[in-house]
Amino acid sequence: MCRFLKCACLLSAVVGVEASLARADSLTPVPFQEVHIKDGFWSKRIHTNRTATIEANLHQCEVTGRIRNFAVAGKLEKGKHKGLLFDDSDLYKVLEGIAYTLSNQRDAELEKRTDAIIDQIAAAQQPDGYLNTYFTLVEPQNRWKNIQYGHELYCAGHLIEAAVAYHQATGKRKLLDVAIRLADHIDRTFGPGKKVDTSGHEEIELALVKLYRATKQERYLKLAQFFLDVRGDKSKRRLFGEYAQDHKPIREQDEVAGHAVRAMYLYCGMADVAGITGDRPLIDAITKIWRDVVERKMYVTGGIGPSASNEGFTAPYDLPNDSAYAETCAAIGMALWNHRMFLMSGNGKYADVLEREVYNGLLSGVSLSGDRFFYVNPLGSKGRHHRVPWFDCSCCPTNIVRYIPGMGERVWAQRDNGLWSVLYTSNTATIALKDGKVKLIEKTNYPWDGDMEFTIEPEQSFAFDVHLRIPGWCRSEPTLSVNGEKAKVEIEAGYVRLHRMWKKGDVIRLSLPMPVQRVYADPHVKADVGRVALQRGPIVYCLEGVDNDGRVRNLCLPKGSKLSEKFDKDLLGGVTIIQGEALAVARPKEKLETEKVSFKAVPYFAWDNRRPGEMIVWLAEEPEGVELPSTEGVFVGGLRIRASHINSTDTLGELTHSSEPKSSKDHAIRRMTWWDHRGGVEWLSYGTTKPRKLTGASVYWFDDTGIGACRVPAEWRLLWRDGNEWKPVQLLKSERYGTALDRFNRVSFEPVTTSELRLEVKLQSGFSGGVLRWLVTEEK
């Protein structure tokens, strides 16, 4: 299992899932134009997106030259290209978000501004249909020559998505015609007997399927299949490797690997094609990959991709908290993929993951004010991680812009004479079923409570099915009624089905019990052993220093602590908080001391919207597991590990692992560094309750030359505690303190009996340093 409640089980109520995935009669999302979200949780966020997020992103696209690049490429203005080679995609995503926004509420001024931008985009298109401002202005001789890193197909995909959305929202074809000409150019360039290659950053695949659905032109579907089929096929082309999910044919892949966002967009394309074609090997592959992600590589917040070095995946269960990368774009990709998996299968477990994403690791990517953004979404902070207005690479802000106003597409799904709820929110939807149209009015205060009311208004009475999702987090029996009469709750594949002759004015009421739940990680997740997280409904909670006297990382939450919830309309725009009693832990001397304190937890998505300070999701259940300041130490396997300083994203808890790193630059494992201390003397120490007889030590240094500013130390030594005095150990003859890279540096010394051994380093001038492993030899 992943980081989910062990007994709630996201994978529960799955009946015949393997067979159901192959059905040709996939569900269809009710179009965003037909679902009007009003009042409640998502209405507020869509409004903020319209009034703040779009404006913030349009402003940045203007001042950074992203819009002007098209005017220059179209010879409307003179100048040079500004920015990165994939910056076109940022503007396209903003336009897609504007399209969904205009569908929710038409805005003449915003539409006029958008049409003017579209005119510049159209002007930049070349006579043969090619469109990319970077390669047009900077490297015209290298069009389609740098497929691995050039992002031409990636940018084209985002243009197609924006064009389809804008046409659906406004009926205007100009941008869609631009996208069609570009897609036709790509179709003339790539394919069997033409250029045989695939995208370095996936996106074009899912976009071509959208274009196929919008135009009914089968060549776009076939081109999407081509890009999928040649990925990983070394008999046809040079492969890009695991980073781009291009290490083996996609139907042979069974676990997630590489860059997280690339992976999610690939799986979206695979799901789209499989949902249309019923391709069994493709379905089998993405089903296996999904299980690998959800059961072994996903955070409780829905975040994915723990590593900054590849912006992606590492080993199973490697889910550190403070250093979690968990890119906002990756969470959006995970949401997009799981929505597609749900539509392909009708199984509620995929909608459960979608819900986990949108209420936690995705929504945390934007501030409540809508104009500041996270690129990275850690599950713990010492107060130094904050949202910012923009990034040089601003894929995340622009992805938020397009995702939030498109929520209407994720509320309902349909097939024949059946309706499926996907995400619960107050809305009014008009849905064309096989035998007639149905208007649905949903009222709810979800996610703050689990009560829903659905008023059914068919044009005329007829029989159809209403499937209501019972989320995996709901462990108690829901209550369900139709027109005041209690209905039986029989859950299959995460849904309860209501079939009857529906008439105008029929009312369904569903109530999902929503107590506070304690969530435990799989024991393989070393970072969370002995720790607990709090969840209520779909919302994961965290503790912030601003609510808890400035400190939260010194708190433990004993198993017997009583927990309660309360809605606070004045806090963070109105949220339900969790309250209870915890223990504040300190070590003024040798022994730990605890004090009972009250605590307050807030939704994770809302953290860092007030005064800066500490944050934590996973709380220790025992005082010994609490993280005290580095000079006070952490306890690992009977050792008290301390440091003079440690970077907020690092850990002391992995130093004693006996496994050898791949290299001194190994970013796939957890490390400790003294960053951002440069030069000077720093130290680490291992302490025990009872003295031990020690005879040697081995150190594997961390050195990220070429990437960062950590180097092996200028020199180092070992000291042992003798009472209140620190004494250097006496190395054996011919022994020396080594600083070699990519291996353990071992030393032996005259035996010492001590309760604490210290590793002291002198950092190189201008540089910091770090340690991957430090092992000590004890004489038994």
The residues carrying an active-site annotation are 311, 395
| Gap between the Cα atoms of 91 and 94, Å rounded | 5
Report phi then psi at 393, rounded to 5.
-100, 100
Q: What is the DSSP string of 536-566?
A: ETTEEEEEEGGGTTT--TTEE--TT--EEEE
Count of beta carbons in the 10 Å neighbourhood of residue 518: 15
| Gap between the Cα atoms of 116 and 91, Å rounded | 13
The four Cα atoms 151, 154, 155, 161 give a dihedral, to 10 degrees, of: 180
Question: Cis before residue 538, ω within 30 degrees of 0?
Answer: no
Query: Helices 260-277 & 218-229, crossing angle to 10 degrees?
Result: 130
DSSP state of 767: -
| Gap between the Cα atoms of 740 and 757, Å rounded | 22
Q: Judging by DSSP bridges, how do beta strands 418-421 and 462-469 pair with one another? A: parallel
Residue 342 near residue 413 (C-beta atoms within 8 A): yes
Residue 568 near residue 599 (C-beta atoms within 8 A): no
| Gap between the Cα atoms of 223 and 225, Å rounded | 5
Q: What kind and span of H or E run contains 71?
A: helix 68-73
| Gap between the Cα atoms of 377 and 605, Å rounded | 10
Q: What kind and span of H or E run contains 507?
A: strand 506-511
Residue 256 near residue 292 (C-beta atoms within 8 A): yes
SS3 723: coil
Nearest to 279 by CA among 229, 216, 340: 229
The four Cα atoms 69, 75, 80, 86 give a dihedral, to 10 degrees, of: 30
Residue 566 pairs in a beta bridge with 577
Count of beta carbons in the 10 Å neighbourhood of residue 451: 16
Count of beta carbons in the 10 Å neighbourhood of residue 275: 24
Q: Find where tokens 């015949």 sit.
A: 16
DSSP state of 366: B
The four Cα atoms 702, 708, 714, 718 give a dihedral, to 10 degrees, of: -30
Report phi then psi at 278, rounded to 5.
70, 25
Q: What is the greatest pairwise CA distance in the chain?
A: 96
Residue 626 in tokens:
């609490």
